Each structure stands twice: as structure tokens, then as C-alpha cells.
A and B are shown apart, each in its own frame.
Chain A
Amino acid sequence: MKTSIKAKKWLVLSSIFLILIGWALAFSIAIPTHIRPLLLLAIALPVIPTLIILWMLSHSVPDDVMKKINEITQRVVSDKEIDQVVIRTEKLPKEVLPFVNAINRLLSYHHDRFQQERDFTAHASHELRSPLAGIRLQTEIAMMTKDPIQKENALKNVIKSIDRGTRLVEQLLIISRLTNEKVDLAKERVDLKKLVQEVVSENQFSADRKQIQLIAYLQIDSLFVEASKDSLYILIDNLIRNAIKHTPTTGKVTVALPKATNDSSVMFIVEDNGPGIPAGDRDRVMKRFEKGVKGSKAGTGLGLAIVNRIVSLYGGDVQLKDARLGHGLQVVVHLPIGLLSVSEKKS
């Protein structure tokens, strides 16, 4: 393909060269002045149509290339077995391979995304069925029974199921917003210390209800960073809620915001004394709808997936470890967001 285009370029150039020589000849040799234009015309005439044809050819796609493109079009097949559209690459000329491979990569990327979306929708609807089933059953019991205590208990269970469903919907919204291709992490000045205190006091009630000690280890000074406050709130809130959920009554949950070793990153640690997560399950639970105990219906299965997503949006990392003492889970989050200096604090 390349060679044929090159040849045409040469042809065009040599034709122009020919005309120029003609001109030079016509003017330099002693030819009567009135014949000169005629001679010129005589040389130029046969060349001009050739030039026009060559010009047109150089602007249209050569036949052999067209043939190859048609061949590639034939190769675009819907692969029923993997339920995906691909261009088969066997016996393709190696010149077009990079192009075809790039198209295939793009197709497979969109196929994966589409698959993920489909799985997500299916999973989400399954997860919503349980609280709905609870609401339906308990409402029917409340309507059937004549015993006021039984009625009251049933209605309490209805509320419990509604709260669970609401939480699930909130979490689904958060994760679908966070998995958009373009996530806008609005930058604003955030006081991390104040933020952690806020999340802790928001979760105090549920900790008290299980008689769990919820302790925050914070520095004396405020820590200012430039980040999206909402995303950091969701991050810390999910870690603390998760810890409280998996810690037995009278247990202990600690949140620490240790002084970073350098000013270019921040670190959160949330630790509980619940059952912990076995090392082999730690990668799994970071995924959407995966729960610590497989098949369990406790929780939405989205908390750690949300944490993981926010951390990766910041380009940070999250580690699940054993608690330092006895049993339990320790979650360590590093975010590469720089601390604002004192002068910026005043701005």
C-alpha cells in the first residue's frame, strides 16, 4: 500500500518536472516567438490529463486497500460463544494488525463495561428483594394478628427492613456515581480532623446501641487538605459503619488520623475487634456485592467496594490487615493528597 502511494508521488513530481523542462526549452532555444506558446501547449497538453487523473487517484483509496478494508469488514463477527463483537485477526496483513488490535481492545473494553453494568443491575435487584420480602411478610402479620404486642413487633420489623432497603439504595447511588467514567472530585479546603470528628459523632448512636466504644485518636492541630469533602466523608463513614456492624456488643472500634511522615499524603486507620477477614478473602471483599461471610445477608456488600473506589480515584491505596491485638480487622488508607501549608490555611 505504501509503495503504490510513493510511486504516484514520483509520477506527479516527474510530470511537473517534464512541463518545466518544456517551458525552459521553449524559451531558451531560438524558436520564433509566435510559435513558442504553441510548442508549450504541445508539450503540456498530453501531460495535463495525466496529472488530473493522478491527482484524483491520489485522493481516492486505492483498490487493493479498499479490498483489504472490505475483507476486514467481513471479519467483524459477533462471537456467540463469548457474546461479544470482535474482528478476527488470523491471516490479516501485518500493516493493519495494529489498527485491528486497537479496535478489538476498544470493543472488549466496552463489552466488559456493559457486562459489569448488567451484573450490577441484576445484583442490585436481588439485594433489594430481601428487605422487600421482609416488609411484605411483617406487614401481613401486623394485619393478621389481634395481639397488640405481636403487631407492634411486626411493625418494628417493617421499619427495620425499610431502613435496610434505604441504606442499600443510598449505597447503590453512591457507587454508581463513583463508577462513572468521569468523576468530578470537587476540590475544596477540608479540615480532616473536624471531618473525622463529624463522622464519629454521626455514628455514636449506633455504636452506643451495641455498647461499642468508638474512639478517635486525633492530633491537636487541624489538618487541612484540598480534596472533595463529600467523598472523604463517605470513605470514613463506610469504614466506621463497617467496623461497628462487624464488632460484637461491648466491643471496641478505633479511628486514627496519625500525623503523616511527610506533608504529601494523609493516612486513616480504622480498627475493630470483630471476627476480622481471613487473608484469602481480603481481595474478594473489596469487590461489589461481596460480603465477608459468603452468602450472608448482613450489610449491603458495597461498603468496602465504595471505599476502594474512592481511594483509587485519589490514586491512593487501602490495605486490610489483622488488628494489632487479638482478633479484628485493621483498615489502613493512604491518600496522596498534600497538606496545605500554614500560609494557604489563611487564604
Chain B
Amino acid sequence: MRILVVEDDKVIGDGILQALQMQNYAVDWVEDVESALTAIMANKYEFVILDVGLPDGTGFDVLKNLRDSKNSVPVLILTAYDDVSYRVKGLDAGADDYLIKPFKLEELLARIRALRRRSMGQANPILQVGDVILDPVATKVKKGEDNVNLGPKEFAILHTLMEKCGKIVTKEQLEEGLYGWDMEIESNTIEVHIHGLRKKLGKEFIETLRHFGYRVGAGED
């Protein structure tokens, strides 16, 4: 999953970036409204973390722009203002959630997972396709009764595929979810990880649709 972080406080922005990268999210970090709007136009994000006070405007400006252009990406607002009126303003402007600084990292991560689930239309955090079970919180995968050990990138790819169970996911979409701007995309990486996943989960679990992409659980959706 690819996340955009809009935060002008260097220490906080850096902290969020590192924390999310440790969770194997692909993260882009910008520090003002203008760069945020450019980033949103250039990339498809599945999540936006938005600080309110920015040097060239407010997070609400970014939010308004997103919602005006019918972009329904989940948005979590971060702010130092804990007035109820501020919270209401944020939620009314189309934000999905709200966190007040300082916050627990664990809480930020939990809210990202919850919003991601909600935007995918699932209530249960545990994903299951066939006999493969994926727990996004514990970052664990089971096949039947057996634990399956996956690398972080393999896990991220499997997570995306299982979330979009029954739908085709293109190689580009998988790449976008794996790499932020600061990372080089190695060619063939996706193929390598898919190969690794098939080895661990069974050859037929992930389908390849030539020239289109990949799919899991074709019969279930």
C-alpha cells in the first residue's frame, strides 16, 4: 500500500516515514500543500496522512481538493489542536479519522489498518482466501494449520492481492504499493516475489493473467 504523508515538522515527518517503512508500506513525504497536490496528481495513493498547519496553507486545502476531484482515498488528519470544533471541521471536510499530537505510533498504525479495511469494505481484519489466512496486525500468514514465513515484500504483495480477492491486480499497482520515491524499482522484483509466494502457498494459489496482472481467489468473488 502506498501512503502520502503531508507534514512540515521535520522530526515528526521523518518519524512517520520511518515507522511506515518499517511496516513495509511505500511512503512519500511532502512538506507543503503545493507538493501534496502535485504528488496526488502524479500517483495513486491508498492512504493520506495530513497535517493541518502547513507553511502555504492548511491540510483542509488538500482535503478539499481531494474531495472536490471525487478522490475518496482515506484521509487521516494529524493536528496539535484538540478543540472539538477543529475535529468537527476536519471530519465535515471529508476526513475519515483524526489523531491529536502527540500520538502513539501503535495507534497511528492501527487506525491506518482500520481505515484501509473500511475503504475495502471489510469489517474483519483477518483475510482469508481458500485455506490461506492473513493477519495484517500480527503480519502473519497461515496455510491451513501451518505458519508460513514470508519476507516483508512478499507479505505486502500477498496482502494487496488478498484484499482485492477475485480482482486482477496489475504489476504496476503492486510496484506502487512497494516503493516510495526514494527507492529504486528493480525490474523483475514482482515476478521474483510472486515466484517465492507460489513456492510457499502452492502454485495455483496466485493466477497469472498474461499482459494483465495477477489474481487470487478467482472463484470466490
A206 within 8 A of B: no
Stretch at the interface among A73-81, A132-140, A306-314, A339-347: A132-140
B15 touches A138 (CB 8 A): yes
Report the nearest B residue to A145, measured CB to CB: B22
DSSP class of A's interface residues: helix, strand, loop or mixed?
Answer: helix
Q: Which residue of A lies closest to B101 (CB)?
A: A133
Q: How many residues of B contact A (CB 8 A)?
A: 24
Task: Specify the chain A residue showing the minimal Cβ separation from B9.
Answer: A297
Q: Which residue of B lies closest to A146 (CB)?
A: B22
* Contact A129 B22, beta carbon cutoff 8 Å: no
**Cβ B8 vs Cβ A137 within 8 A:** no
CB distance from B151 to the nearest CB of A (A): 16
The verdict on A154 contacting chain B, using a C-beta distance below 8 Å, is yes
A219 CB–B CB distance under 8 Å: no
Q: Does B11 contact A (CB under 8 A)?
A: yes
Q: How far is the CA of A141 from the CA of B18 in the complex (A)?
A: 8
Which A residues are CB-close (under 8 A) to B53? 295-297
Please indicate the chain B residues that have their CB under 8 angstroms from the CB of A137 in the complex. 11-12, 15-16, 19, 102, 105
Chain B residue numbers with a CB within 8 Å of A166 are none
Which B residues, 7 to 31, have Cβ-Cβ distances below 8 Å to chain A? 8-9, 11-12, 14-16, 18-19, 22
B202 interface contact, C-beta 8 A? no
Could you say which of B11, B57, B105 contacts A134, with CB atoms under 8 Å apart?
B11
Chain A residues within 8 Å of B101, by CB: 129-130, 132-133
Q: Between A and B, how many residue pairs show CB distances below 8 Å? A: 77
B102 touches A135 (CB 8 A): yes
Q: Closest B-chain residue to A134, C-beta based?
A: B11
Q: Is B43 interfacial (CB 8 A cutoff)?
A: no
A29 at the interface (CB under 8 A from B): no
CB pair B22 A144 closer than 8 Å? yes
Q: How far is the CB of A55 from chain B (nearest CB, A)?
A: 62
**Nearest chain B CB to A346 CB, angstrom units:** 53
Contact A130 B18 (CB under 8 A): no
Which A112-132 residues have a C-beta within 8 angstroms of B? 126-127, 129-132
Q: Is the CB of A293 within 8 A of B55?
A: yes
Pick from B12, B57, B102: contact of A295, CB under 8 Å: B57
Cβ of B210 under 8 Å from chain A: no
Which A residues from 124 to 177 make CB contacts under 8 A with B? 126-127, 129-138, 140-141, 144-145, 150, 154, 157, 160-161
Tell which of B55, B57, B102 touches A136, judged by Cβ atoms closer than 8 Å.
B102
Question: Quick one: closest A residue to B7, CB to CB?
Answer: A297
Q: Which residue of B lies closest to A158 (CB)?
A: B11
Say yes or no: A132 contacts B22, CB within 8 Å.
no
Decide: A140 near B19, CB < 8 A? Known: A130-B80, A133-B101, A295-B54. yes
Q: Closest chain A residue to B8 by CB distance?
A: A297
Query: Which chain B residues border A136 with CB–CB below 8 Å?
Result: 102-105
Complex interface: chain A residues within 8 A of B15 (CB)? 134, 137-138, 140-141, 154, 157
Please indicate the chain A residues that have their CB under 8 angstroms from the CB of B105 in the complex: 136-137, 140-141, 144
Is B55 touching A295 in the complex (CB atoms < 8 A)?
yes
- With the chains together, A141 CA to B15 CA distance in Å? 7
The answer to whether A138 and B103 touch (CB under 8 A), given A295-B57, A296-B55, A297-B53, is no
- Contact: A134 with B104, CB < 8 Å? no
With contacts A137-B19, A140-B19, A157-B15 taken as known, whether A296 is within 8 angstroms of B102 at the C-beta atoms is: no
Task: With CB as the reference atom, state the residue of chain B lying closest to A161.
Answer: B11
Which of these, B8, B54, B57, B103, contacts A133 with CB under 8 Å? B103
B149 at the interface (CB under 8 A from A): no
Restricting to A281-312, which residues have a CB under 8 Å from any CB of B?
Answer: 293-297
Q: Which residues of the other chain, B, contact A157 by a CB distance below 8 angstroms?
A: 11, 14-15
Q: How far is the CB of A154 from chain B (nearest CB, A)?
A: 7
Q: State how many angstroms separate the Cβ of A144 from the closest Cβ of chain B.
A: 6
Min CB distance A135 to B, Å, is 7
With A295-B57, A297-B53: A133-B102 Cβ-Cβ less than 8 Å: yes
A: which residues have CB within 8 A of B? 126-127, 129-138, 140-141, 144-145, 150, 154, 157, 160-161, 293-297
- Listed from nearest, the 6 A-B pairs whose CB atoms lie closest are A137-B15, A134-B11, A133-B101, A133-B102, A129-B80, A295-B53
Interface residues of B (CB under 8 A from A): 8-9, 11-12, 14-16, 18-19, 22, 53-58, 80-81, 100-105
A136-B102, A157-B14, A294-B55 are known contacts; what are 11 more A-B pairs with Cβ within 8 Å? Answer: A127-B80, A129-B100, A133-B12, A133-B80, A135-B102, A141-B15, A141-B18, A141-B105, A144-B22, A154-B15, A154-B18
Could you jot down 8 A-B contacts, CB within 8 Å?
A: A129-B102, A137-B12, A141-B22, A144-B19, A157-B15, A295-B58, A297-B8, A297-B53
